[in-house]
Amino acid sequence: MRLFIAVDINSRSKNLIDKKLDLIKTDLKSHFKWVNKDQWHLTLKFIGESSEAEKNKLIEALKNIEFISKNRYINFNKIDAFPDLERAKVLYLAVDEGEDFLKNLHQNLEAELKKYGFAKSDRNFIPHLTLGRSKNGPLKINDKFRDPNFINIFAEIKAVTLYQSNLKPEGSEYIKLISI
């Protein structure tokens, strides 16, 4: 089974973000495959293919992570892209306020998972909410979407969740296995 660990945000914030994105979705509809808002999350660690025993170790490790979710908010303040806005392949919302909290949580998670035999990620952790992926290769994003006032939404962090990801022709399906 394919697994990853992510942070969930509240539904109200997802709805606000979705409404703000109507304009960009209309403009870029033919260029991007959009992630359904019900699937939105901020990935902390992609695990990949895992056995049942590894899944159980992940659950145990998650229970040991110090995560204070009460009144924990983050702020999405701009649209950005991987590798960049000039050659966008993945469009995402960048985190402003709360970025340090998420980076700290990621480091704590990596340290705890190492105790259970999971390798540390060699990628630089960039907290983000993936909105869509390019259908036809890189695309330059219009300047009107680069305005930092275009998006400015606070979201409450609801939980840290272990997900199973099932790849399907219509897109990935995410199944929550455990939330803390």
pLDDT of residue 163: 98
pLDDT of residue 160: 92
- For residues 147 and 85, the answer to whether their CB atoms sit within 8 Å is no
Active site annotation includes 31: no
Residue type at 33 in one-letter notation: K
Residue with token string 């983000």: 128
Residue type at 76 in one-letter notation: F
**Cis previous bond, 83, omega within 30:** yes
**What tens digit of pLDDT does each residue of 1-42 get?**
999 999 999 999 999 999 988 888 888 888 999 999 999 999
Total Cβ atoms within 10 A of residue 153 = 18
pTM of the predicted model, to two decimals?
0.92
- 139 forms beta bridges with 88
pLDDT of residue 71: 62
Active site annotation includes 128: yes
Q: What are phi and psi of 51, to 5 degrees?
A: -85, 175
pLDDT of residue 172: 85
pLDDT of residue 146: 75
The rounded average pLDDT for each run of 10 residues, N- to C-terminus, in the chain (180 residues) is: 96 94 86 93 97 97 76 88 95 94 94 96 94 92 77 90 92 91
pLDDT of residue 65: 85
| Helix runs in 21-167, H state only | 22-28, 52-64, 99-115
Among the listed residues 128, 132, 160, 174, the single catalytic one is: 128
pLDDT of residue 170: 80
Q: Is 40 helix (H, G, I), strand (E, B) or coil?
A: coil
First CA to last CA distance, the chain: 20
Give the Cα separation of 147 and 79 in Å (integer): 8
Residue type at 160 in one-letter notation: V
Among the listed residues 6, 13, 41, 127, the single catalytic one is: 41
- Cβ-count burial of 58 within 10 angstroms (0-12 exposed, 13-18 middle, 19+ buried)? buried
| 2-170 CATH pick, 1.25.40.10, 1.10.10.10, 3.90.1140.10, 3.40.50.880 | 3.90.1140.10
- For residues 141 and 83, the answer to whether their CB atoms sit within 8 Å is no
Pairing of strands 42-49, 2-9: antiparallel
Domain ranges of the chain: 2-170
Which of 126, 119, 121 is CA-nearest to residue 57?
A: 119
pLDDT of residue 67: 67
